[in-house]
Amino acid sequence: MVIANTKDVLSEARKKLLKNKIDTKEARLLLARAMNVDVGELVTIDYCSDYDYKVFLGYIERRIEGEPFAYIVGYKEFMKLNFEVNKNVLIPRDDTEVVVLEAIKQCKENILDMCTGSGCIAVSLAKYLEKSVIDASDICANALAVAKRNAKRNKVKVNFIKSDLFENITKKYDMIVSNPPYIKTSDIENLQKEVRMEPIKALNGGENGLYFYDEILKNAKKHLTQKGIILLEIGYDQARDVSLLAKKYNYKKIRKIKDLSNNDRVIYAERG
Ligand code: GLN
């Protein structure tokens, strides 16, 4: 049954979004998703069905409740690739592209992405470093299921390993990359509502936010080749602490790399 004029539906939704300080551009994208059409096609469609209209209103409500846009539409673009996301995985952040770009520059043969989540780092590396062998691990089976689908979706081969940090890791690598959970436990309740809808396990870095850096740096040496390197995404204020940890475990040539907003975002270190 044809009921609603798409232009009216959109303008009504834009008003609601605006009132809630949400980018009104999302209205078109959500309507296209609800109608299962390409966003470019929307302009050519004058009416939407009762069913699609209801689905769309449901999306707008969820958005206003604070659910991230990416979870509603079910995807997020990262490194010019398209990734499936759902509540089992952290939504890929633009800042994480800095980690991937540095890893591509290093161009190593055998790479492990630890705490892979959606698989965005591992899959991007497999895509842009065609000759490398990419392994990716995560403690969470539900996250690995998403990551596996993302490898398939982007037509690359990644070897997935279910592992609590290095527990089930047996190989040695030329490069270990990781974006581990790094938010202090006490900061989690103060995060934006949208971020709090993401898996806490993927954010919680323990009391001081450094738990995973300590564990990874302490144990990575056994899994790095002689010339192996490690790249860790960090929070904007963690460069000093994570560098000190790397020093404590005797890594060499420790340096920090900034993100697009000029915040420290990556720690690079060599096994030495
Ligand atoms: N960058 C994420 C955030 O600020 C945190 C990612 C992480 O803990 N690895 O929400």
Residue ranges of the domains in the chain?
2-65, 86-270
Instruction: Give me 184's structure tokens.
Output: 């202090």
Answer yes or no: are the C-beta atoms of 13 and 60 closer than 8 Å.
Answer: yes
Is the CB of residue 34 less than 8 Å from the CB of residue 17?
A: no
pLDDT for the residue 104: 98
1 pLDDT band, cuts 50/70/90, is low
Instruction: Give CA–CA dist 135/111, Å, rounded.
Output: 6
- Give residue 243's pLDDT band: very low, low, confident or very high (50, 70, 90): very high
194 CA from centroid of ligand 1 (Å): 12
Q: What is the mean pLDDT of residues 124-132?
A: 98
Query: What is the distance between the alpha carbons of residues 122 and 113, in angstroms, rounded to a whole number?
Result: 6
The conformation of residue 262, written as its DSSP 8-state character, comes to S
Q: Helices (DSSP H) in the chain: which residue ranges?
A: 6-19, 26-35, 50-64, 69-73, 96-106, 120-128, 141-153, 193-196, 211-220, 239-248
Q: Are strands 159-162 and 264-270 parallel, antiparallel or unpaired?
A: unpaired
- Exposed/middle/buried for 119, CB within 10 Å: 0-12, 13-18, 19+? buried
pLDDT at 48 over 80: yes
How many angstroms is it from 192 CA to the middle of ligand 1?
Answer: 12
d(CA 245, CA 213): 8
- Residue 82: the pLDDT is 97
Give me ligand 1 centre to Cα 9, in Å: 35
Among protein residues, the one with the nearest Cα to ligand 1's atom 10 is: 195
Task: Kindly report the number of other CB atoms within 10 A of residue 51's CB atom.
Answer: 12
Q: Which segments of 129-238 does DSSP mark as H helices, in order?
A: 141-153, 193-196, 211-220
The Cα–Cα gap between 4 and 200 comes to 39
pTM: 0.94
Query: pLDDT at residue 3 above 90?
Result: no
DSSP string, 44-81: G--EEEHHHHHHHHHHHHHHHTT--HHHHHTEEEETTE
CB atoms within 10 A of CB 15: 12
Q: pLDDT digits over 60-78, tens only?
A: 999 999 999 999 999 999 9
Query: What's the 206 CA to ligand 1 centre distance in angstroms?
Result: 13
CA dihedral sign, ordered 264, 144, 193, 82 = positive
CA dist 90 and 180 (Å) reads 11
Which of 43-47, 145-149, 222-226, 242-246 shows the lowest per-residue confidence on average (mean pLDDT)? 43-47
Predicted local distance difference test score (pLDDT) of residue 4: 84
Assess if CATH 1.10.8 describes domain 2-65. Answer: yes
- Ligand 1 atom 5, closest CA: 203
Please tell me the total number of residues recorded for the chain in this structure: 272
Cα(203) to centroid of ligand 1, in Å?
A: 6
Q: How far is C-alpha 4 from the chain's CA centre?
A: 36
Q: Which are the contacts of 256, defined by CB distance < 8 A and separation ≥ 6?
A: 234, 239, 243, 264, 265, 266, 267, 268
For a mutational test of ligand 1's pocket, the pick from 89, 90, 200, i.e. the residue with the most ligand atoms closer than 8 A to its C-beta, is: 90
207-217 pLDDT, tens digit each: 999 999 999 99
Q: What is the average pLDDT value for the chain, to the nearest integer? A: 96
* Helix (H), strand (E) at residue 178: strand 173-178
Domain 86-270 CATH assignment equals 2.60.40.10: no
pLDDT of residue 2: 60
